[in-house]
Structure 1
Amino acid sequence: MGREQWNSRTGFILAAVGSAIGLGNIWRFPYITYENGGGAFFIPYLFAMASAGIPFMIMEFTMGHKWRRAAPGIFTKLGVDLKLRLQWLGWFQVMIAAVIGIYYVAIIGWSISYLGLSFTQNWGDNTNDFFFTQYLQLGAYSPFNLGDLLLHIAIPMFIAWSITFFAVYTGIKEGIERANKILMPLLLIIVLFLISQTVFLPGAQKGLNYLFQPDFSQLLNVKVWSAAYGQIFFTLSVGFAIMLAYSSYLPKKSDINNNAIITVSINCGFSILAGILVFSVLGHMAEEQAQPITNVVSSGVGLAFVTIPEAISHLPIPYILGPLFFTSLVVAGLSSHISIIEAVISAIIDKLNYPRKKVATLVCGLGFIISMLFATNGGILLLDLVDYFINNIALIFSCLVEVIILAWFIKASIIRHYANQLSDFNTGKWMELCLRYMSPVILLIILVRNLINTFTQGYGDYTFMDQLLLGWGLITFMLLLSIIINICSKNNRHDDKENL
């Protein structure tokens, strides 16, 4: 039986965009922009998109299309040519995806809960106290003392897992492609409608000025450029097996360059729309409360489940705009979660040659059980700690090793030549320069900076033992397990030796 394929180019692009567009576009990008020079931040951000995002996406689409395997299979084949055993990197990326998929679903569960709450605004006047004390019931707990299972969190997580399971169980065409053809247009329509209702609110213009007011002095700050590149790698779903898996289902005749540029551009464009939406709301909230907007700006979980719910109470027709906002969070989360789990499933199918339905049932069932750790009193603490180490250490390391192997050992010129043969337009030498020099240097700077900060300052208020076991220990375990799988695998040369 041949490998599954996307039914249409549109279906593939929507699926890739659905993976890239996630919760981070809504609750991380606006704050990153505000914090790093406002409108001036778009200069390094767009430069990072052109010099890192698009070349990296073309590289991963090329690898997936050429080898028609998930990440472990691709690196196995590349290792044969280089006379190296590289399968470990593919499995390390799959494990990153698995870990993210297990805790990411908790945030989707919270979003589903808040979608229900938004119809009546049952979070009350003190949204901070409601979220942490009443909803999460976070007390004197820790990552190793999680407390009890909370059914009001576990049930929404089960709903999220069920939707993801249905999408991956039914396959590429009937499940994932069909789901994204519904989810992505729905997300765009909701966000555009929300913007149309919020951008004209009193104070909204003030919020947008804070977001887009350029501070060109920040362009001389290395941290701003590092933040721009970090956001690009954070949001595009590269480096942890997803885009390799998705592109492996492309038909033989596929315009790789155009697909990559469209995917990256839509993702970045949506981030800007999310910024307009969020800061319109924050500006109105500041106007209503007669306080500076700097007092209400936040990022991450605090923005989505504390600040925005409070702001919704000050909006006109809150019983409509509130549910629509949290629907957008749920949709963005689900589209990303489906892609994350598919990266794991495709790797296992390639390795064991098991039927998709069997693997989907096993992965989603086991994932649901483990994810219940995050449906506890201390679940948010475990999530926060694991998320930091996975995204700031493991993922950046994975991207760095991948680009060095592909751009230096396989050679960027060969990758570019393959993509150009299939595409309507050719990329120039700039792509090779970006992959060989710019991306590795930037990734190395980000990784070294993150390592130094984590070694010297630690993360948050977590104990040394928490960080050692659940941070460094988890990454070490993933690396060792990946290497063990690599060693225990039969001769990697069983794969065909077709070269790029």
Structure 2
Amino acid sequence: MREKWQSRKGFIFAAAGAAIGLGNLWRFPFQAYKNGGGAFLLPYFVALITCAIPLMIMEYAYGRKIRGGSVKAFADLNKKAEVVGWIQVMVPIIVMMYYSAIIAVSVIFMIFSLGHAFGMINWLSDPGPIMGMVTGSAENALDLGAGISMYILIAVIFVWLCNWLIVKKGISGGIEKMSTLFTPMLMVLMVVFMINAVRLQGSTIGLEALFKPDFSKILNPSIWVSAYAQVFFSTTLAVGVMIAYGSYLHEKADVVNSAFITVFANASFDLIAGVLVFSTLGYLVNSIGVEFTSFGTGAGVAFIAFPIAISTMSQNVFVQGLLGFVFFFCLFIAGLSSSISMLESFATAALDKFKISREKLVTIISLVGFAGSACFASYAGFNYILDIVDAYVGNIIIAGLGLVEVILISYIYGTGKLREEANAFSDFRVGKWWDYLLRYFTPLLLGAVVITNLFNLVTGLFNQDSVGILSNIVFGWGTVLIMVGASVLFYKRKWTTDAHQE
């Protein structure tokens, strides 16, 4: 008997938690900042309507229909298409390996914040040395002898332990319970931090930099490609997560409305993150005269800029430490809610095909995942290899899988039939516009994203030295080959369950 979500609320919180992650906190703000500010919001919302929502409805509806994860989903379409499903669920496994290392830094900073609160270490006003101590340094991605961060390695054990404990308990007993508690808590805490950030002196400088529209950029095709890429990646589509979650829906569950809620919850978090990040950066620009990109456009914002901002919220050391703990706890929850969905994506797919207990499977995946995370705990891994692997998985594999998925499901299963099934028990119905988007419009746009990203990656190699080129070949294309190779091996294994009928 297949498990089911116990409530619509639990499903929505789990799906929203899967979509909302650490990447939202910096990817959307800086994509908007460099792509026309307020003008970026137009292509962003167009992308939500024409790409994210149609695909979310498709994945929920098809997952519910076939009662299986990505592997069963594609195997039921065509025997040879099963390999596409395996490549999809390989993505979250690889992403979890380096994503867990970033979550681990949040755990470390939670502990350091408590140390700050009790006067054991004073670091929030100057987090650079602590960040340097935790992440270390290496000359390049090939500098594998530079060392390993014991801080990250120990914290990664804790992260994977949390993943294992939650996912092994299943959908209703683990993921739904965790998500119902932590997803609303995360949203409330982030809104509180956003309101406080807006009140900081100089916040308007940051908000103007983020939202002041530069309409001269609106006709630039690259802005539209960036908007679609942002929406596509931030909603956790095409990596098996939402198909897996959809497979645990009740037969009479509302698919259409749930998809809208999930997408707009994620978009709301993008906007909250944008206001929070740039209000904070505006304060720092105003008070210490730095540039908006002084802390980078990635994790540096969360791990360098925010501790400084937190230290200014109160003169009381205990309050500073407590605020720091709450903030990094938010990051930890955002990361964990995404990582458990990634683990479930692979688990659902494997349980569909192989007769194995959930607990044993999740244990195996967790041990393999931790071994991978240990590599990213190395100084070269965290500072260089992580970015390379992320670029290749995100820009080539995920976008490519989205393109293949929408074509296969739309043309083999049929959008008309799927639309009827999605509408059957939904509060409001989607019309034939949904079919046209999935069959024509979305594939064209995703194709443009794939081609643009591939072109940028290949041409970018010519601007690098020999070490950079070799690093991209080994860790970038090497990761792609490992994912495809492992997928083919799983594909060739015989089905030991009756989930898929030949």
Hey, what's the Cα distance between the residues in 2 that align with 1:180 and 1:280?
Answer: 28
Which one is further off, 189-198 or 252-261? 189-198
Q: TM-score, normalised by structure 2?
A: 0.93
- 1:236 matched to which residue of 2? 235
State which drifts further: 254-263 or 26-35. Answer: 26-35
Q: Name the CA distance, whole Å, in 2 between partners of 1:216 and 1:148.
A: 47
Aligned amino acid, residue 103 of structure 1: Y
TM-score scaled by length of structure 1: 0.93
Which of 99, 102, 106 is matched with 2:101 structurally?
106
Query: 2:311 matched to which residue of 1?
Result: 313
Q: Which residue of 432, 437, 453 corresponds with 1:434?
A: 437
**1:55 counterpart residue number:** 54
State the Cα distance separating 1:37 from its structure 2 match: 1.4
Deviating above 6 A after TM superposition, structure 1's stretches of 4 or more consecutive aligned residues are 491-494
Structure 2 gaps, min length 5:
none
User: Which has the larger displacement, 468-477 or 135-144?
Assistant: 135-144
| Residues 1:213 and 1:48: Cα distance change in structure 2 (over 3 Å) | same
**Does the alignment pair 1:225 with 2:224?**
yes
| Secondary structure, aligned partner of 2:329 | helix
Match of 2:402 among 374, 399, 417: 399
* CA separation of 1:378 and 1:468: change in aligned 2, threshold 3 A: same
Change (3 A) 1:59 1:15: same
CA distance in 2, matches of 1:294, 1:150: 29
Against the structure 1 CA distance between its residues 141 and 407, is the aligned structure 2 distance closer, same or farther, given a 3 Å change threshold?
A: same
One-letter amino acid of the structure 1 residue matched with residue 414 of structure 2: K
Q: Deviations over 1:231-257 (max 9, x none)?
A: 011101111111111111111111100
Q: Determine whether 1:485 maps to 2:490.
A: yes
1:465 to 470, 483, 498: 470
The 3 A distance-change label for structure 1 pair 93 and 122 is farther
CA distance in 1, matches of 2:203, 2:229: 28
AA aligned to 2:240 is A
Aligned equivalents of 2:125, 2:172: Cα separation in 1: 45
Number of the residue aligned with 2:263: 264
Match of 2:198 in 1: 199
| CA distance in 1: counterparts of 2:334 and 2:277, whole angstroms | 15
Give 2:330's aligned residue.
328
Given that residues 353 and 497 in structure 2 are in contact (C-alpha distance below 8 angstroms), is that contact kept between their aligned partners in structure 1? no
RMSD: 2.1
| Correspondence for 2:85 | 90
In structure 2, how many angstroms separate the alpha carbons of the residues matched to 1:266 and 1:86? 32
Q: Counterpart of 2:299?
A: 301
The residue correspondences of 1:338-357 to structure 2 (distance < 5 A) are 338-357=340-359
Structure-1 separation of matches of 2:107 and 2:183: 17
Partners of 1:370 and 1:477 lie apart in 2 by 13
| 166 and 100 in structure 1: CA distance in 2 versus 1, 3 angstrom threshold | same
Structure 1, gaps ≥5 residues long: none
- The alpha-carbon deviation at position 34 of structure 1 amounts to 1.4
Larger mean CA deviation between 94-103 and 470-479 belongs to 470-479
Do the aligned partners of 1:282 and 1:297 also contact (CA within 8 Å) in 2?
A: no
Tell me if the contact between 2:103 and 2:331 (Cα under 8 Å) persists in the aligned partners: yes
Task: Kindly state the Cα deviation for residue 87 of structure 1 after the two structures are TM-superposed.
Answer: 0.5
Q: Distance in 2 between the 1:376 and 1:71 partners? A: 32
Q: Is the 8 A contact 1:76 1:492 kept in 2?
A: no
Task: Tell me what 1:9 maps to.
Answer: 8
Contact between 1:298 and 1:307, CA under 8 Å: does it hold in 2? no
String of CA shifts for 1:428-471, please: whole Å, max 9, x gaps: 12211211122111111111111112112228765322211221
The residue aligned with 1:414 is: 417
SS of equivalent residue, structure 2 residue 141: coil
- Structure 1 residues 109 and 491, CA gap change in structure 2 (3 angstroms): closer
Asked if structure 2 preserves the Cα contact closer than 8 Å seen for 1:288 and 1:314, the reply is no
